[in-house]
Amino acid sequence: MKTEKIDVISGDREKGIARAGEILRRGGTVAIPTETVYGLAASALDDGAIEKVFLAKGRPQNNPLIVHISDIKMLEDVARDIPDAAYRLAETFWPGPLTMVLRRKDAVASRVSAGLDTVAVRMPASKAARDIIEASGVPLAAPSANISGSPSPTAAAHVIHDLDGKVDAIVCGEDCKVGVESTVVALFSDPPRILRPGAVTAEELSDILPGLVIDKAVLSEPESGEAVASPGMLYKHYAPKTETFLIEGESKNYIDFVNSKGDCAAVCFDGEAARITVKKLAYGAQNDGDALAKNLFSVLRAVDALGAKRVYVHAPDKRGIGLAVYNRLLRAAGFKVIKL
Ligand code: TXA
Ligand code: MG
């Protein structure tokens, strides 16, 4: 398949957005920029279009997709029995990196929800994403635009690397400002539950959702055969090909550890790089969670090129957006954590 590249930065933005909308309206697949990660979009009302998304990504059929809307009025087209808390959250955090899981309306293609009675919905902050939704005239289901299992794409080049030849078009826009996927919160159950942490933090959500809990799958490995509230949490994910370990501990201990290891690489904090003698990539300052989130996936994508046998990633603090970074790294490492 020839994949059309639509450049909305140096090309004609208006024409590009209209073209993306046209392909989507006709049941095609188009990768689009959002503020979190690039998404692979298709009409959420069209089972045939959704099937193409699963095929292009090699995504397990039982892992449901997030539906993206451009206007709060679209929420009632895709969800029903919407609690007041959802509107309060929308007022505070939409457009933005928050996904709410609600009861599903039948209009939503059944494949989107992988057979569940619920639907995950978000209104992205990215203006390009909202303009494309509007141009398409339909809500858009969009998982991250990567090959299933590999690090999520935060730049158009990552999407081209993974999906060129497998989708109808790729909209090449800005690099993603947030860098980790949206926070997913289940509102159909009591108490409300964070299924996946993101840039909208547990601390911020608790103000509107008293009693909010964090699903145990966020920080621990599901037992085999265990039912998981968010099927995406089941899989090893975001992983470089190089065997990855997550290292917890103080800077000095981490630096001594990697320096003693020989054939390995380090993914470290900015301030540590100068004292590390093995191959290394820094992903931000230790106290700058936003930077760690923004750089995480591009650094994980660059790890394999270092040609090391193992990579040791220095784990961030779990507060604020750090919880999201930690959650992704835990999966990238296949839950292999070393505490120093
Ligand atoms: O930031 C994001 O959310 C990005 C951009 C493109 O918007 N999208 C994204 O999609 O990360 P994806 O497919 O990579 O992750 C969707 C997550 C998965 O963990 C999935 O299991 C969960 O949301 N999910 C989707 N629908 C659900 C539902 N009905 N119930 C529970 N979890 C659901
Ligand atoms: Mg994903």
DSSP one-letter string for 1-63 = -PPEEEESSSS-HHHHHHHHHHHHHTT--EEE--SSS-EEEEETT-HHHHHHHHHHHT--TTS
Q: Is 136 in the pocket of ligand 1 (CB under 6 A)?
A: no
Q: To test ligand 1's pocket by mutation, which of 144, 154, 297, 327 has the most ligand atoms within 8 angstroms of CB? A: 144
Average pLDDT value for residue range 145-150: 94
Q: Is 59 in the pocket of ligand 1 (CB under 6 A)?
A: no
Q: To test ligand 1's pocket by mutation, which of 150, 176, 184 has the most ligand atoms within 8 angstroms of CB? A: 184
Q: To test ligand 1's pocket by mutation, which of 181, 189, 193 has the most ligand atoms within 8 angstroms of CB? A: 181
Average pLDDT value for residue range 46-60: 97
Q: Which ligand sits closest to the CA of 120?
A: 1
Q: Which atom of ligand 1 is nearest to the CA of 104?
A: 29
Pairing of strands 183-186, 193-196: antiparallel
Which distant-in-sequence residues (6+ apart) come within 8 Å of 127 by Cβ?
Answer: none
Q: Is 96 in the pocket of ligand 1 (CB under 6 A)?
A: no
Average pLDDT value for residue range 209-218: 95
Q: Is 60 in the pocket of ligand 1 (CB under 6 A)?
A: no
264-268, strands of its sheet edge to edge = 279-282, 264-268, 310-314, 243-248, 337-339
Token representation of residue 217: 């799958």
307 Cα to the center of ligand 1, angstroms: 32
> Per-domain residue ranges for the chain?
4-180, 243-339
Distance, in Å, from the CA atom of 53 to the CA atom of 63, rounded to the nearest integer, reads 12
Q: pLDDT band at residue 230, thresholds of 50, 70 and 90?
A: confident
pLDDT (0 to 100) of residue 52? 98
Q: Which ligand sits closest to the CA of 230?
A: 1
231 Cα to the center of ligand 1, angstroms: 9
Average pLDDT value for residue range 153-180: 98
Token representation of residue 308: 């090391």
Amino acid at 302: A
Per CATH, the homologous superfamily of domain 243-339 is: Threonylcarbamoyl-AMP synthase, C-terminal domain (3.40.50.11030)
Beta bridge partners of 247: 314, 338
Distance, in Å, from the CA atom of 111 to the CA atom of 121, rounded to the nearest integer, reads 15
Neighbours of 291 (CB within 10 A): 18
94 dihedral zone (left: phi>0; alpha: psi -120 to 50; beta): beta
Q: Cα 173 vs. chain centroid, distance in angstroms? A: 17
> Is pLDDT at 119 greater than 90 in this prediction?
yes
- Atom 21, ligand 1: which residue's CA is nearest? 232
Is residue 225 packed enough to be buried (19+ CB in 10 Å), middle (13-18) or exposed (0-12)? exposed
1 Cα to the center of ligand 1, angstroms: 26
pLDDT (0 to 100) of residue 262? 83
pLDDT (0 to 100) of residue 321? 97
Average pLDDT value for residue range 180-190: 96
Average pLDDT value for residue range 127-146: 98
Q: Is 284 in the pocket of ligand 1 (CB under 6 A)?
A: no
Are 100 and 118 spatial neighbours (Cβ–Cβ below 8 Å)? no
- Rg, Å, the chain Cα set: 20
Q: Tokens 């899989």 correspond to what residue?
A: 235
Q: Is 150 in the pocket of ligand 1 (CB under 6 A)?
A: no
Average pLDDT value for residue range 103-107: 97
Q: Is 184 in the pocket of ligand 1 (CB under 6 A)?
A: yes
> Is pLDDT at 229 greater than 90 in this prediction?
no
pLDDT (0 to 100) of residue 234? 64
225 Cα to the center of ligand 2, angstroms: 21
Report the topology of domain 4-180: DHBP synthase (3.90.870)
Average pLDDT value for residue range 104-119: 96
> Is pLDDT at 132 greater than 70 in this prediction?
yes
